Amino acid sequence: MFPALLLLAAMAQPNSAVDAARAWHGAHQQQILDEFFELLRIPNAGPERLRDNANFIRTMLEKRGVSARLLEMDGVPPAVYGELRTPGARRTIAFYAHYDGQAVRPAEWKTPPFEPTIRDGRVWARSASDDKTPIIALVAALDAMRAANLRPAANIKFFFEGEEEGGSPHLEQVANNYKDLLAADLWLICDGPVHQTGRQQIAFGARGIQTARITVYGPNHDLHSGHYGNWAPNPAMMLAHLLASMKDDNGRVLVNGFYDGIEPLSASEKAAVAGAPDTEALLKKEFALGRTEGGGRPLVELLNLPSLNVRGLASGSTGAAARTVVPSTATAEIDMRLVKGIEPDAAFARLVAHIRRQGFYVVDREPDAATLTTHPKVALVVAPEPGYRASRTSMDLEISQQVIRAVEAARGTVVKLPTMGGSAPLWIFTDLLKTPTITIPIANYDNNQHAANENLRLENLWQGIETMAALLAM
Amino acid sequence: MFPALLLLAAMAQPNSAVDAARAWHGAHQQQILDEFFELLRIPNAGPERLRDNANFIRTMLEKRGVSARLLEMDGVPPAVYGELRTPGARRTIAFYAHYDGQAVRPAEWKTPPFEPTIRDGRVWARSASDDKTPIIALVAALDAMRAANLRPAANIKFFFEGEEEGGSPHLEQVANNYKDLLAADLWLICDGPVHQTGRQQIAFGARGIQTARITVYGPNHDLHSGHYGNWAPNPAMMLAHLLASMKDDNGRVLVNGFYDGIEPLSASEKAAVAGAPDTEALLKKEFALGRTEGGGRPLVELLNLPSLNVRGLASGSTGAAARTVVPSTATAEIDMRLVKGIEPDAAFARLVAHIRRQGFYVVDREPDAATLTTHPKVALVVAPEPGYRASRTSMDLEISQQVIRAVEAARGTVVKLPTMGGSAPLWIFTDLLKTPTITIPIANYDNNQHAANENLRLENLWQGIETMAALLAM
């Protein structure tokens, strides 16, 4: 099903679609923002309102003649699926975005997270950048093309999920259940920020992730540090030794085998990394850093390696609540970003083996007294979330080159990255659906993604509409 | 001022006083507990109710004919001071205790901290052991002696402060302001637990303390660990390296000079340490420890060394709140227990020097962006509380020997320790008031002091009344 109008329209080329998008957003800014704000006003940081978001987006698509439906699974926020068929199309291009957002702590926001506000040339709201931007940009691009009497060259599919911020726990199952619907020649993942220089970037892969929670044990309850300190082993100090054993002072991970099996970059991928703009000075200033890890290698190069990050530490109490005790336990939360060639299970197993090599008896559930008293050092190591592998699409594929050319029609020379630094389960598209998958971000890099005061530069919205139009016209 | 009754009473000896105490508590358990519970019901974990505690205790003393008053200083919880003069007394014995308690987190308590409950032969309440026990034991001992028509041999003084858990920040000033009132031939510090075997112990010193809060800096706000991890330095990992550099795996402190200047133990002190009961196996089982620090040396020996303890760690978030970020800061709370010969300022300076040697630029206030960007590693190091030095009274003094004999009249052979493991600013008594100072604890060692579910074994209360009677009769 597609509207009769499209039958009569001319087949768009990226250049003509970009022109149409520019003319359209220039003339209809308020109309675009009104619809965007309506979408942003529907809270998406908890399960109860996610369906409202999905229904609203389905209607947004249907208004543009897109045949849309909700893909349902028990207990899962519905995904919004849409199709726009093009007679005689020789291929299908599918667009991915997500409509759910990270949790909010309203007290930390300058303006309420679900009352979008324009300030300093930006829209401030939860998901203004991550990740409702592509949804509004795509429908505005469709409006622009229709107004210019242009139609896509390919069949177009839309897939907007509602569980991305929770790690897309059911995406694999959705892909299995709806394999036919999700079949495509290309997946375009519309998420994430553009380059820190403001230049458009295209990422041909995403890192995987594996988390781990490590708890080490001292006495079975907090002990007075005067009566028992430096006799009863201190778990915070044990944890410090354990963590320190995992990385050298320069940030190199010392876990045995941590870098083993990495699938090497191709010549074009290496060239792309080498050709990426130098942002080191800009970012060091922006984040007030006196040094970086990685032995002087730039960020863009380090993103192609697996990483081990301590995202949280807790033991005893700090600040005004501090008490002079030997704490009973100490916990570290770890996240490991994975690259092609390293499976999440393997990364977890290597970490556990490393902890064992440091003299710990490793358990996977709360240890009992017998376990604690019969081993000098005990660590509980669990994976709080399921991990997933990295994915990468070759930038040498003809379709990859076409994507580059389409985006460059809108935005000029792009920054090409073999992988983005963030994790996304794009292996579901590349490995399970066996489809080339390329990530096209829209948001500004300083968008406070996942944090308070998330925002989208308006300029990025207008540019995003042009980029989406170019891709719809591929 | 003292009641006429005492004039007619016989001068007590430790043995007769102990007999009187035993008879009294045997016949008046409920009456003693009722008064104790009244005292325990007055919350003492925050500033607002401390004065209520002081007034209640003053009245407790006055009921026993003790001339009592509150020693006031602006903004300081009043100390309760009492005197019981004995005609013809040749010396003055002063008793110290404190009525304030550690903060409580009621959710962690099985029964409310300020609603004392008897369960399993123990009283459960905040300060049931630390340190309202000596207060009730002393007044019960006075009641017992009066009932037996016995009077103290010496002039007696009582001094119960309200700031001990905060490190007694004004005790020095109180001692200076009230030097005459606090003049004595002997100070008996009634605080802390008896030996883990249940045997009475006497400590001839207390360790000093110096705390430090160390905050190390990563990026100026939390960063997405995928986009920036393993490029932006991770403060939790930096802190792990820093802490690990401070102690070896065996618990030996590696801070340069940490053990320098320790005043050696005398022959009798060494003999006392060597003669203390072996509690290693008991305590390892009790606390579910698979090993101890200190290279196999027993706890009783390690207490005579300075210690460095990590009492708290915090960075990012843990548990359900964990987010995949490079945290902006990481904080460790340290407490160092000091022994004779090591001044708190020196210990702090050695720690700061150690942190500098690990490559940190050390600041004493929140660093600005310029400081952060111009130094590879920055650490904020502050002392959250003022420190104080250790103190020790020779166990060879004649008065020390008399104290041992008096306590042994009540409790049999005692365990003698050159110092207790805990800290107390007893230097104010030994160095400022220039008075021999000996610590006589009452509470059971497993009293959950400073933690949730603090408790006092009832048996320890009854024994404590006998011990206090013996000391009142010295």
**Chain-centroid distance, C-alpha A32:** 25
Mean pLDDT across B431-436:
98
Q: Can you tell me which residue has the tokens 């240890």?
A: A367
Assigned CATH topology for domain B4-204+393-472: Aminopeptidase (3.40.630)
Residues 188-227 of A with CB under 8 A from B: 193, 207, 209, 211, 213, 217-227
Which chain A residues are within 8 Å of B308, Cβ to Cβ?
230
CB contact under 8 A, A310 and B236: yes
**Chain-centroid distance, C-alpha A85:** 29
DSSP state of A236: H
Tokens of A210: 């594996």
pLDDT at A5 over 60: no
Give the one of B225, B246, B317 whose C-beta lies nearest to A335's C-beta. B225
- Residue B261 CA to residue B265 CA, distance in Å, equals 12
Mean pLDDT across B4-14:
71
User: Is the CB of residue B233 less than 8 Å away from at least one CB of chain A?
Assistant: yes
Q: How confident is the model at residue B168, as a pLDDT?
A: 87
User: Is the CB of residue A70 less than 8 Å away from at least one CB of chain B?
Assistant: no
pLDDT at B216 over 60: yes
Q: Which helix (H) or strand (E) holds A151?
A: strand A150-151
CA distance A199 to chain B (A): 16
CB contact under 8 A, A326 and B311: yes
pTM attached to this predicted model: 0.89
CB contact under 8 A, B224 and A450: yes
- Residue B423 CA to residue B428 CA, distance in Å, equals 13
Between the CA of residue A13 and those of A92, A428, B134, B438, what are the distances in Å? 16, 30, 90, 93
Tokens of B45: 């974990």
Q: How confident is the model at residue B388, as a pLDDT?
A: 93
CA distance B470 to chain A (A): 26
Read off the pLDDT of residues A400-411 as tens digits, 9 standing for 90 and up: 999 999 999 999
Give the one of B228, B373, B378 whose C-beta lies nearest to A285's C-beta. B373
Burial environment of residue B445 by CB neighbours within 10 A (0 to 12, 13 to 18, 19 or more): buried
Confidence of residue A238 (pLDDT cuts 50, 70, 90): very high
Q: How confident is the model at residue A2, as a pLDDT?
A: 47
Read off the pLDDT of residues B355-397 as tens digits, 9 standing for 90 and up: 999 999 999 999 999 999 999 999 999 999 889 999 999 999 9
Confidence of residue B9 (pLDDT cuts 50, 70, 90): confident
Residues above pLDDT 70, as percent of chain B? 98
| Domain range annotation of chain A | 4-204+393-472, 208-263+290-382
The one-letter amino acid at A384: P
Q: How confident is the model at residue A12, as a pLDDT?
A: 85
Residue positions counted in chain A: 474
The one-letter amino acid at A58: R
How many helices (DSSP H) and strands (DSSP E) are in chain A?
16, 22
Enter the CATH code of domain A208-263+290-382.
3.30.70.360
User: Is the CB of residue A337 less than 8 Å away from at least one CB of chain B?
Assistant: yes
Give the one of B219, B290, B305 whose C-beta lies nearest to A375's C-beta. B290
CB contact under 8 A, B289 and A227: no
User: Is the CB of residue B244 less than 8 Å away from at least one CB of chain A?
Assistant: yes
What sign does the CA torsion over A286, A287, A290, A292 have?
Answer: negative
Size of interface A-B (CB pairs under 8 A): 322
CB contact under 8 A, B287 and A317: no
User: Is the CB of residue B302 less than 8 Å away from at least one CB of chain A?
Assistant: yes
Which chain B residues are within 8 Å of A288, Cβ to Cβ?
219-220, 369, 372-373
Contact, A165 vs A399, CB < 8 A?
A: no
Q: Which residues neighbour B58 within 8 Å (Cβ) at sequence distance 6 or greater?
A: B68, B69, B70, B80, B82
CA distance B8 to chain A (A): 44
Give the one of A305, A309, A375 whose C-beta lies nearest to B225's C-beta. A309
CA distance B361 to chain A (A): 11
∠ CA B308-B311-B317, nearest 5°, is 135
- Residue B405 CA to residue A210 CA, distance in Å, equals 65
H-state helical runs in A156-275: 171-177, 225-228, 235-244, 267-275
Mean pLDDT across A328-356:
98
Nearest CA in chain B to A283: B232
Read off the pLDDT of residues A50-69 as tens digits, 9 standing for 90 and up: 999 999 999 999 999 999 99
Nearest one of B267, B272, B255 to B342, comparing CA atoms: B255
- Residue B80 CA to residue B197 CA, distance in Å, equals 33
H-state helical runs in A28-181: 29-40, 50-63, 133-147, 171-177
Q: How confident is the model at residue B12, as a pLDDT?
A: 85
Q: Do domains A4-204+393-472 and A208-263+290-382 have the same CATH topology?
A: no
Read off the pLDDT of residues A11-26 as tens digits, 9 standing for 90 and up: 889 999 999 999 999 9
Q: How confident is the model at residue B321, as a pLDDT?
A: 85
Q: Which residues neighbour B274 within 8 Å (Cβ) at sequence distance 6 or greater?
A: none
Q: How confident is the model at residue A1, as a pLDDT?
A: 41
Residue positions counted in chain B: 474
CB contact under 8 A, B289 and A232: yes
DSSP state of A12: P
Mean pLDDT across A279-305:
95
CATH architecture, domain defined by B208-265+304-382: 2-Layer Sandwich (3.30)
Q: How confident is the model at residue A418, as a pLDDT?
A: 97
Helices B458-472 and B398-411 cross at an angle (nearest 10°) of 140
Q: Which residues pair with A216 in a beta bridge?
A: A330, A379
User: Is the CB of residue A296 less than 8 Å away from at least one CB of chain B?
Assistant: no
Residues 270-289 of A with CB under 8 A from B: 283-285, 287-289
- Residue B405 CA to residue B382 CA, distance in Å, equals 45
Q: Where are the beta strands (DSSP E) in B75-145?
A: 76-84, 92-98, 117-119, 122-124
pLDDT at B175 over 80: yes
Cis check for the bond before A364: say yes or no (omega within 30 of 0).
Answer: no
Read off the pLDDT of residues A411-452 as tens digits, 9 standing for 90 and up: 999 999 999 999 999 999 999 999 999 999 999 999 988 889
CB contact under 8 A, A289 and B373: yes
Nearest CA in chain B to A208: B226
**Chain-centroid distance, C-alpha B439:** 10
Mean pLDDT across B305-331:
95
Q: Is A311 helix (H, G, I), strand (E, B) or coil?
A: strand
Nearest CA in chain A to B296: A231
- Residue B350 CA to residue B367 CA, distance in Å, equals 21
User: Is the CB of residue A241 less than 8 Å away from at least one CB of chain B?
Assistant: yes
Phi, psi of A312 (to 5 degrees): -165, 145
Neighbours of A397 (CB within 10 A): 14
pLDDT at B449 over 90: no
∠ CA A340-A344-A348, nearest 5°, is 130
Q: How confident is the model at residue A7, as a pLDDT?
A: 55
- Residue A421 CA to residue A209 CA, distance in Å, equals 11
User: Is the CB of residue A384 less than 8 Å away from at least one CB of chain B?
Assistant: yes
User: Is the CB of residue A374 less than 8 Å away from at least one CB of chain B?
Assistant: yes
Confidence of residue A392 (pLDDT cuts 50, 70, 90): very high
Q: How confident is the model at residue B307, as a pLDDT?
A: 97
CB contact under 8 A, A287 and B228: yes
Mean pLDDT across A116-132:
97
DSSP state of A247: B
Output the average pLDDT for chain A.
95
Neighbours of B371 (CB within 10 A): 17
Q: How confident is the model at residue A249, as a pLDDT?
A: 87
Which chain B residues are within 8 Å of A227, Cβ to Cβ?
192-193, 303, 420-422, 445
Neighbours of B96 (CB within 10 A): 28
Q: Can you tell me which residue has the tokens 């622009």?
A: A144
- Residue B159 CA to residue B163 CA, distance in Å, equals 12
Q: Which of A45-49, A69-73, A104-108, A356-360 has the lowest mean pLDDT?
A: A45-49
pLDDT at B418 over 90: yes
Nearest CA in chain B to A247: B237
CB contact under 8 A, B233 and A337: no
CA distance B293 to chain A (A): 5
- Residue B465 CA to residue B442 CA, distance in Å, equals 9
